[in-house]
Structure 1
Amino acid sequence: MATPERYYVPAASIWPIVGAVALFLIAAGAGATVGGLFGGSGPWLLLAGTVLILVMLTGWFRDVIRESMQGLYSAQMDRSFRQGMSWFIFSEVMFFGAFFGALFYARFIAVPWLGGASNNAMTAAVLWPDFVAQWPLTLTPGGIETTAMPAMGLPLLNTLILLTSSVTLHIAHTAIEKNQRERLKGFLLVTVLLGALFMFFQGEEYVHAYQEMNLRLDSGVYGNTFYLLTGFHGLHVTLGTIMLLVVWLRVMRGHFSPEHHFGFQASAWYWHFVDVVWLCLFVFVYIL
């Protein structure tokens, strides 16, 4: 009789609850910062949540890496990791799908409705007499005027950066499968640096939008959808860059082999997903 394949069950961990607390602090801190709540303590809550989430990621990554290097994971465990990562990316697709859905609703349903479409001229005249049914909306009901973010400039540059990072990451992936360690180290590091460069330029874009274009979170539905989509995508780029950085540090320590490198593969899946989301975002938010 063949020996059944063993399945490693890790010990109880504190990291899930630590991550939940960190996410709560981040959400509460971000809301309090934007809304001016809790006596101005919002930024401190946001900082505490960010620090705690970094502690959680460090501890959890450390435990999983230690278990993997000790040979505790079987082929069945590897399949479980792949299934888990696949479902996680699917949940992220649904997450961004909700925000893109909000954008499409505002643009193709709410804006024409306010403009008098579908025999709604009388209601539209009462709700917003001076409304002009065009997208993007550069005038809010409160009279705030803003400017739409153009596709050229930093957004196009960031698109080229992310597309290049997908190429460099694919080269690194090919290198690990062929056990070309030096090639792997170089191209993976370039991918991490491109991710950091993307985040830097997105920060520059936000500063420009706030200071020179009057494009803010309170700039009507256009400002809301713009910052929701680009902001959450930037958060995902940040997480993806951290994941790839951890993978690069592991590569520098001699981890992974052509046969066993799912940690690298999972990070690559995530990064390519983030790149695809940005392409959709670039088209529907910046161009159309």
Structure 2
Amino acid sequence: MAAAHAKHHDYHIIDPSPWPFIASVGALIMAIGAVAWMRAAQGSSFPLFGVDLAATNFWLFLVGLLIVLYTMFAWWSDTIKEAHEGHHTRVVSLHLRYGMIMFIASELMFFVAWFWAFFDAALFPDEAAQVARAQFTGGVWPPEGVEVLDPFHLPLYNTIILLLSGTTVTWAHHALLENDRKGLIAGLALTVALGMFFTCVQAYEYLHAPFAFRDSIYGATFFMATGFHGFHVIVGTIFLAVCLLRAMAGHFTPQQHFGFEAAAWYWHFVDVVWLFLFAFVYVWGSAGATIAH
């Protein structure tokens, strides 16, 4: 009987899992909660099925977020368990890599949309302002009266920070391939620290920005592009922090370490996107404008 159920292929047929359904429920609750929270902030109601959900304020959103976070933890824990049980064969690992590549490609298209919005507003400022019902720009970019950040101050610091983090995560990867556990942990720890430092510098930059999100179309496109990148940095930092904890627990081998490899790919993607943001949004986008000091 056991021989009849023996696996004679490299594929992994997973057991029935509740996590896709639970994740969908959590995402739905989180989305409805976010709308209710925003309506409450505006002093409006949000009736649904005879109940004013705006009264829940942010609590409904928090419940959905906690469900999603727990699902992520449990689902990925199952994936790690499957890897330790030997289910991640050569074919399965290849498909996992294909999946990560497609995910990064989808993220790339996400940022293309924000770059498109920024360039459309920068190259055709008055037309974009009319469409967005924003203030007129005077035919120039950045709009008249808008003071911009000095690209060679905090943005340059953050560029150096991310480039350094790219080298430290590469160091950690090579240390893993050489079975150097201490080098792996040290490289990951430095990368996580640099990621946290980047987030702190960007938060400080936002707090002292001379323009606001709703002041002009420049502010809207700037904060959307750089803000979503900052969110991705936070996600990548958490991703690498989990890898650090796993490395300290003895996970990952030179032969099997897709979890770390996926985190490293994601972090390099974040690095490259920032280089484009720095070059075009900060440097090119502020050319000829008044620099706020």
TM-score after normalising by structure 1: 0.82
Match of 1:187 in 2: 187
State the alpha-carbon separation in 1 of the partners of residues 135 and 72 from structure 2: 52
2:250 aligned residue (254, 265, 280): 254
Q: Is the CA contact 1:5–1:76 (under 8 Å) kept in the aligned structure 2?
A: no
Q: Say if 1:130 and 1:256 are closer, same or farther in 2 by CA, change over 3 A.
A: closer
- Asked if the contact 1:216–1:223 (Cα under 8 Å) also holds between the matched residues in 2, the reply is yes
Q: Deviations over 1:102-121 (max 9, x none)?
A: 11111112x15479xxxxxx
Structure 2 residue corresponding to 1:221, chosen from 214, 217, 223: 217
Q: Give yes or no for contact 1:114–1:133 (8 Å, CA) kept in 2.
A: no
**Gap regions ≥5 residues in structure 2:** 1-6, 46-53, 285-293
Give the 3 Å change call, closer, same or farther, for CA 24–163 of structure 1 in structure 2.
farther
* Alpha-carbon displacement from aligned partner over 1:201-243 (angstroms, at most 9, x marks no partner): 222222222xxx2x22212211111111111111111111111
How many residue pairs end up in the alignment?
A: 266
| Secondary structure class of the residue paired with 2:148 | coil
2:256 partner letter: H
Give the equivalent residue in structure 1 for 2:107. 92
Separation in structure 1 between the aligned mates of residue 135 and residue 85 of structure 2, nearest angstrom = 69
1:127-166 map, 5 Å: 131-137=137-143, 146-166=146-166
* Cα pair 1:149 1:286 within 8 Å, conserved: yes
Give the Å deviation of 1:20: 3.6
| In structure 1, distance between residues paired with 2:110 and 2:134 | 32
Report the residue type matching 1:204 in the other structure.
Y
Distance, in Å, in 2 between the alignment partners of 1:88 and 1:206 is: 29
1:166-205 superposed matches below 5 A: 166-205=166-205
Cα drift, residue 4 of structure 1: 4.7
Q: Aligned partners of 1:28, 1:230: CA distance in 2, in Å?
A: 26
2:91 is the counterpart of 1:76 = yes
**C-alpha RMSD of matched pairs (Å):** 2.8
Q: Deviation at 1:63?
A: 1.0
| CA–CA distance in structure 1, aligned partners of residues 72 and 256 of structure 2 | 22
TM-score, reference length from structure 2: 0.81
1:65 has 2:71 as partner:
no
| In the alignment, structure 1 residue 19 sits paired with structure 2 residue 34 | no
One-letter code of the match for 1:230?
A: T
Whose RCO is larger (CA < 8 A, sep 6+)? 2
Q: Which runs of 5+ in 1 are unaligned?
A: 116-122, 140-145
Give the deviation of 1:284 after TM superposition: 1.4
2:50: which partner in 1? Answer: none
